[in-house]
Amino acid sequence: MKITRIEAIPFAIPYAKTLKFASGEVHTADHVLIRVHTEDGLVGTAEAPPRPYTYGETQQSIVTVIDTVFAPQVIGHTVLEREQIQAILRRTIGNPTAKAALDMAIWDVIGQALDVSVSQLLGGWTDRMRVSHMLGFDTPAQMVTEAQAIHERYGIATFKVKVGRRPVTLDVDVVAALREHFGETVELYIDGNRGWTPSESADALRRMADLGLTLAEELCPADDILGRRWLVRQCPVPFVADESATNPGEVTRELLDGNANALSIKTARTGFTVSQRILGQAEGLGVEVVMGNQIDGQVGTLCSVAFGAAHQSTSRRAGELSNFLDMTDDLLAEPLQITDGTLSVRPGPGLGLGLQIDEDKLTHYRQDT
């Protein structure tokens, strides 16, 4: 199972509409498909979504670091030498989604070689997860309309609402409209992407106190250290660290410093290996976790549900697994299906028999030819 070649293929698929949130907006899924080839003819696959406004990565930087830094050092190792490969990746600062995709593609090869599902290798807790859908900035009426359409078509009953605009009433009004429309039939939680100050965040939480929120994520920057700590102490629901806790060291700092008391785990930035370490930290410290979304395509979403379903802690809450629905197309030959508000792990070895790339679509959307 020696690695002989690693491909980093840039591709771009437009979103059906611009997705807007406090830290930026996206018009196109300009992602990178990662393929790890072995001497046995096995090919592991994963997806790296660049988010320059969060991690500093771009599509070009991911391709470059894979081709010129990681591939020359990783090729020649077997896929079972995961700790050696992790040590190689750690030598390079940053580049989280490039590292994560390479790690997940290696796990895909291991599962194929052993004829075992990656989700079972990781833990095998269940075979599906409830789905949460993320709603980007828009008017209250438009966001209610979108949520209702998603609810009716896919049975999704959990919504993550992007907030962080000024004045805070713009977002308070959206959450109020969603609660008024759905009553208690859906779960609502908010994500500020660091858009508010601590005092604005506290004001918004007071205004939404009777709207039944279940989580509040990154309402203000973690660098507002004292203000963030002050906010977390008074927050009536678990305060989720996401982009402020992207590796085990940051997780420890944010939790022990009182800057958060819950975690978002995103396989798109910590792969399977580091995500398991972060999950172990969360379980050891007694904090809740949610499976986050990097606005992943279907390949990335397949990785998220494989990890989330594998563990009891990550499967308790609905995972953010549906934003591939915002894309106009995708690369999987057999598209993912959300049914009755749940998404299932694909059966079969590795990441599943459904992880077959439509090569015609890849040819059409790739950016390096």
Instruction: Output the CA torsion 161→324→9→13 (10° steps).
Output: -90
Look up residue 64 and give its DSSP letter: H
Give catalytic status of residue 294 as yes or no. Answer: yes
Q: What is the DSSP string of 12-40?
A: EEEEEEEEEETTEEEEEEEEEEEEEEETT
Which pairing describes strands 128-135 and 158-162: parallel, antiparallel, or unpaired? parallel
Closest by Cα among 322, 343, 326, 342 to 159: 322
Give catalytic status of residue 162 as yes or no. Answer: yes
Give catalytic status of residue 138 as yes or no. Answer: no
Closest by Cα among 277, 227, 288 to 255: 288
Which is catalytic among the residues 59, 112, 294, 298? Answer: 294
Which is catalytic among the residues 30, 47, 57, 217? Answer: 217
Structural tokens at position 121: 């290798």
Structural tokens at position 335: 């598209």
Q: Beta-carbon neighbour count of residue 36 at 10 Å?
A: 27
Give catalytic status of residue 184 as yes or no. Answer: no
Give catalytic status of residue 266 as yes or no. Answer: yes
Which is catalytic among the residues 266, 296, 320, 330? Answer: 266
Count of helices and strands (H, E) across the chain? 15, 13
Which is catalytic among the residues 103, 200, 218, 242? Answer: 242
- CB neighbours of 321 closer than 8 A, spacing ≥ 6? 129, 131, 132, 291, 293, 301, 304, 305, 308, 338, 343
Q: What is the rounded distance in angstroms from the CA atom of residue 173 to the CA atom of residue 134?
A: 17
Collapsed DSSP state (helix, strand, coil) of residue 307: helix
Long-range contacts of the stretch 52-56 (C-beta < 8 A, 24+): 53/23, 53/24, 54/23, 54/24, 54/243, 55/94, 55/96, 55/97, 55/243, 55/246, 55/269, 56/94
Which is catalytic among the residues 103, 108, 160, 162? Answer: 162
Which pairing describes strands 3-21 and 24-38: parallel, antiparallel, or unpaired? antiparallel
Catalytic residues: 162, 191, 217, 242, 266, 294
